[in-house]
Structure 1
Amino acid sequence: MLKIGITGGIGVGKTVVCRMFALLGVPVYDADTRAKWVMQHDQALRQELKAAYGPQTFTATGELDRAYLAKLAFNNPARLAQLNALVHPHVGNDFAKWVSSHAGQPYVLKEAALMYESDSWKQMDQIIAVYAPLEVRIKRLLQRDAHRTEADIKAIMARQLEEEEKIARSRHVIYNDDTRLIIPQVLKLHAQFLSESAR
Structure 2
Amino acid sequence: MLKIGLTGGMGSGKTTVSKIFSVLGIPVFYADDAAKTIMNEDAGLKQSIINLFGQAAYMNNELNRKYIAGIAFNDKFKLEQLNALVHPVTIAAADEWMNAQTSSYVIKEAALMFESPAAASLDYVIGVYAPQHLRLQRVMNRDNTTREAVLARMHNQLDETIKMKLCDFVIINDEHTAVLPQVLALHKKFLEMAG
Q: Secondary structure at the match of 1:179?
A: coil
CA-to-aligned-CA distance 1:109-130 (integer Å, 9 cap, x gap): 0111111111201121100000
Which one-letter code corresponds to 1:81 in the other structure?
Answer: E
What is residue 88 of structure 1 aligned with on the other side?
87
In structure 2, do the counterparts of structure 1 residues 56 and 8 end up closer, same or farther at CA, with 3 Å as the change threshold? same
Give the structure-2-normalised TM-score.
0.94
Shift of 1:185: 0.4
Shift of 1:49: 1.7
The 5-angstrom pairing of residues 97-116 of structure 1 reads: 97-102=96-101, 104-116=102-114
Shift of 1:183: 0.7
Which one-letter code corresponds to 2:84 in the other structure?
Answer: A
Q: How many aligned residue pairs are there? A: 195
Distance in 2 separating the partners of 1:21 and 1:91: 21
The 5-angstrom pairing of residues 35-46 of structure 1 reads: 35-46=35-46
- Residue 174 in 1 paired to residue 171 in 2? yes
- Runs of 5+ in structure 1 lacking a partner? none
Give the structure-1-normalised TM-score.
0.93
- Residue 125 in 1 paired to residue 148 in 2? no
Distance in 1 separating the partners of 2:188 and 2:182: 10
Tell me, yes or no, if the aligned pair for 2:73 and 2:156 is still in contact at 8 Å: no
In structure 2, do the counterparts of structure 1 residues 143 and 194 end up closer, same or farther at CA, with 3 Å as the change threshold? same
CA-to-aligned-CA distance 1:140-187 (integer Å, 9 cap, x gap): 2333232x1111121111111111111111110000011111111000
RMSD: 1.3
- Residue 159 in 1 paired to residue 151 in 2? no
What is residue 7 of structure 2 aligned with on the other side?
7
Tell me, yes or no, if the aligned pair for 2:74 and 2:152 is still in contact at 8 Å: no
CA-to-aligned-CA distance 1:32-52 (integer Å, 9 cap, x gap): 111000001112212222332
- Residue 53 in 1 paired to residue 53 in 2? yes
Indicate the percent of aligned positions where both proteins have the same amino acid.
43
Distance in 2 separating the partners of 1:108 and 1:38: 21
Tell me, yes or no, if the aligned pair for 2:3 and 2:107 is still in contact at 8 Å: yes
Distance in 2 separating the partners of 1:143 and 1:66: 19
Distance in 1 separating the partners of 2:65 and 2:176: 37
Shift of 1:27: 0.5
- Runs of 5+ in structure 2 lacking a partner? none
Query: Structure 1 stretch 71-80 or stretch 17-26: which is displaced more?
Result: 71-80
Q: Secondary structure at the match of 1:196?
A: helix
In structure 2, do the counterparts of structure 1 residues 65 and 127 end up closer, same or farther at CA, with 3 Å as the change threshold? same
Shift of 1:94: 0.9
Distance in 2 separating the partners of 1:108 and 1:178: 26
Which one-letter code corresponds to 1:105 in the other structure?
Answer: S
